[in-house]
């Protein structure tokens, strides 16, 4: 069973999509199995990370920004702006799909874990997430 979620982004950053994915799971009726989450873009990625302290997110963004700078003379793919090639590299270094176990109708995330869309471009827009559910249906 597949679902498509549209996520609006204001620019670079981590966007918590935990509740949107969890709502999709609950509405599906699947109680046990596996949830696969996939971002259908080459300049954004997915991440499971701490959701309690926002400084973790800032530190991750700062670290990845330092690792993959926007101004690098080695980049030849520059037609879409200075953030485009770095966004592709950041996406390649992180994950575009994640698998999360489903237990008793809920995402089996840990206490401090959240699911994030990591937008690597500056411009606002919309990203599409595919949520695939495999498993057993319980009583609805």
In whole angstroms, give the CA distance from residue 52 to residue 39.
23
Range of the domain at 32: 2-137
Q: Is the dihedral of CA 54, 129, 43, 122 positive or negative?
A: negative
Query: What CATH code is carried by the domain that includes residue 20?
Result: 2.60.120.460
The predicted-structure confidence for 35-57, as pLDDT tens digits, reads as follows 999 999 999 999 999 999 999 99
Residue 139 has pLDDT above 70, yes or no: no
Q: How far is CA 9 from each of CA 25, 32, 58, 107, 112, rounded to the nearest angstrom?
A: 22, 31, 16, 23, 23
- Model pTM? 0.94
Cα first-last separation, the chain? 16
Provide the domain count of the chain. Answer: 1
Mean pLDDT of 65-73: 94
């Amino acid at each position: 069973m597949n679902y498509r979620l549209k996520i609006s982004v204001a620019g670079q950053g981590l966007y918590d999509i935990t509740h949107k994915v969890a709502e999709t799971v609950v509405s599906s009726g699947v109680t046990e199995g596996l949830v696969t989450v996939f971002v259908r873009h080459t300049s954004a990625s997915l991440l499971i990370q701490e959701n309690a302290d926002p400084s973790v997110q800032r530190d991750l963004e700062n670290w990845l920004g330092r690792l993959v700078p926007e101004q690098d003379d080695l980049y030849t793919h520059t037609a879409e702006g200075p953030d485009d090639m770095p966004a592709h590299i950041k996406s390649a270094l992180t994950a575009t799909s994640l698998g999360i176990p489903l237990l008793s109708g809920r995402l089996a995330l840990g206490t401090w874990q959240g699911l994030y869309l990591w937008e690597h471009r500056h411009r606002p827009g919309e990203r599409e997430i595919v949520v695939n559910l495999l498993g057993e249906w319980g009583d609805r």
